[in-house]
Amino acid sequence: MKQSVNVKMKKKTWFLATALVVISVVLGGCFKDDDQLYRVSAVRALNGVPGSGQLDIFLDYNKLNFNDIVREDEGFAYSDTLPYKNAWPNSRVVSIVDPVDYPNAEPIVQKTVNFVPGSFYSLYVVGYENIEVISTEDDLTEPAEGKAKIRFIHLSPDAPALDFEIHSDAVDPLIISDKAFKEASDFVSIDGGITCTVDFIEHSSGDVLHTFEFEPAAGMIYTLWVKGLLSDTENISLGFGHGILIH
């Protein structure tokens, strides 16, 4: 299936818009805590657009999928994730750009997000025919001893609202109910080191649409994300399923 993107492009150049944001950062100054230490935020990203080729993601004018150490772009095609990177707090413009369109590229989509000093965030590029950016704040506090933390996020653009169930012979089932496309659950605590079965269940009918085994490790934090297209049964690479994001 050939992916199409049907998005209205903005008239003005996005470079001017991001430049204005950069000026506001300089004039607004930096953030200090009570100990006079500079505090920044951290952000990572995931490309959840089924079948997408390489995309570039910018925070203001800074390319997030660029590795400053090796001075090379990082892969950000479908299912690729980027590690946490420092980000200035306050309002930031997230821009998604198709690198094929350089040097005159304009964003496929833009969104303003707000980062709180000292907090962690994930950005998700989602959709299929229409591309969007959504964000979550990530609770990276350490799990209790012997436990892991897990949440779910629904990123399949053509799937209905879903319930999520984790069950095993050793523990009572954990059920998270009625999450629609682009909705995420809160983090919940589960036992580490136990092999569980995870079911993605259609909320309205109770039908199990996808199932897999998962063994969370104690002390780890996970986001399980719903991926692919429910309607595409021929192209395996676009098929409905799951991904695991380790924080």
Q: Mean pLDDT throughout 104-114? A: 92
pLDDT band at 75 (very low <50, low <70, confident <90, very high): very high
CB 241 within 8 A of CB 159: no
pLDDT band at residue 38, thresholds of 50, 70 and 90? low
**Where does CATH 2.60.40.2890 sit in the chain?**
147-246
User: Is 147-246 CATH 3.40.640.10?
Assistant: no
Question: H or E stretch including 56?
Answer: strand 56-59
Checking if the pLDDT of 167 tops 60, the result is: yes
pLDDT tens profile 174-183: 999 999 999 9
Within the chain, which residue ranges are assigned CATH 2.60.40.1120?
14-138
Is residue 153 pLDDT above 90, yes or no?
yes
- The pTM score is 0.84
Whether pLDDT at 21 is above 70:
no
Asked if 58 and 64 touch (Cβ cutoff 8 Å), the reply is yes
Name the amino acid, one letter, at 18.
T
**Highest CATH level, class, for 14-138:** mainly beta
Instruction: Report residue 12's pLDDT band, with 50, 70 and 90 as the boundaries.
Output: very low
Question: Which whole number is the average pLDDT over 118-129?
Answer: 96
Best CA proximity match to 234, nearest among 5, 50, 48? 50
Mean of pLDDT values over 68-86: 95
